[in-house]
Amino acid sequence: MSASLSKKRSIAVSFGMVVDPTPTTYVDSAHKLACRIINYLWNNWGSDDSGLRQGEVDLYSINIPLIEELLADHGLKICQTTLWRNSYGRLFENISGSRKPEDRKIMLPGPEASRTLAEVPESKIPLNHETSPLLFKWCPDMEDLVNPTTNSSLVGSDEWALCNGLASVTPLRATFSEPDCAGASAKWEFEMNL
């Protein structure tokens, strides 16, 4: 995103972890596939009259599921997709009641670097240190993202492609929106003779 906002060609690559543990042979094959797709995109960059790059697509998002089909001679089918409109549940969890003040850490300069509030004399606690009992931790509810149901997938979206064992290439604008070329009438599959 940073590069595309600086008007540079940009490609993001993500691997979808499906099998745990993921065999390293899947990763090696996914790297090779990603390089083939990147090379193809770079030499066949799409157009978008409303993007930041003077008629070019701002950026591409590539998603490759790490699955056994990567090892097959034919590899994975690659398709252009639209962006999945996903959402999450809560992002933070209130853990105020689950931690005692003596378990909460405070960072101090010098030899007393990290100590619990109970270990630090009150005179050494910085005035701006938050000592209220209200405490949250980053704990996003990503169940729908981690375990999507194929029934909830919008056909043609990047999430649909991953759920169906396909690699996806999604052209995007730097505004997290899709360029005009990603419309329903412009669907295509990669035909790469590499």
What is the reported pLDDT for 78?
93
Do 46 and 109 lie in a common domain? Answer: no
Do 149 and 82 lie in a common domain? Answer: yes
Do 19 and 65 lie in a common domain? Answer: yes
Q: Is the pTM of this model over 0.85?
A: no
| Nearest of 46, 54, 45 to residue 7 by alpha carbon | 54
Q: Are strands 10-17 and 59-66 parallel, antiparallel or unpaired?
A: parallel
Do 18 and 46 lie in a common domain? Answer: yes
Do 64 and 133 lie in a common domain? Answer: no
- Domain assignment present for residue 194? The answer is no
- Structurally, the chain folds into a number of domains equal to 2
Do 133 and 153 lie in a common domain? Answer: no
Do 81 and 150 lie in a common domain? Answer: yes
What is the reported pLDDT for 184?
45
Do 26 and 79 lie in a common domain? Answer: yes
Do 47 and 83 lie in a common domain? Answer: yes
pLDDT (tens, 9 = 90+) of the chain, 194 residues, equals 888 888 889 999 999 888 888 888 899 999 999 999 999 999 999 998 888 878 899 999 999 999 998 888 888 899 999 887 766 677 888 776 655 555 555 445 555 555 555 555 555 555 444 555 567 778 777 666 666 665 566 888 888 888 889 999 999 988 756 666 644 444 556 665 55
Residues β-bridged to residue 136:
94
Do 71 and 8 lie in a common domain? Answer: yes
Rg, C-alpha atoms of the chain: 23
What is the reported pLDDT for 119?
56
Do 107 and 132 lie in a common domain? Answer: yes
What is the reported pLDDT for 106?
47
Per the document, the length of the chain is 194
**Residue 24 sits in which domain range?**
2-88+144-186
- Domain assignment present for residue 51? The answer is yes
Owner of token pair 């950026």: 59
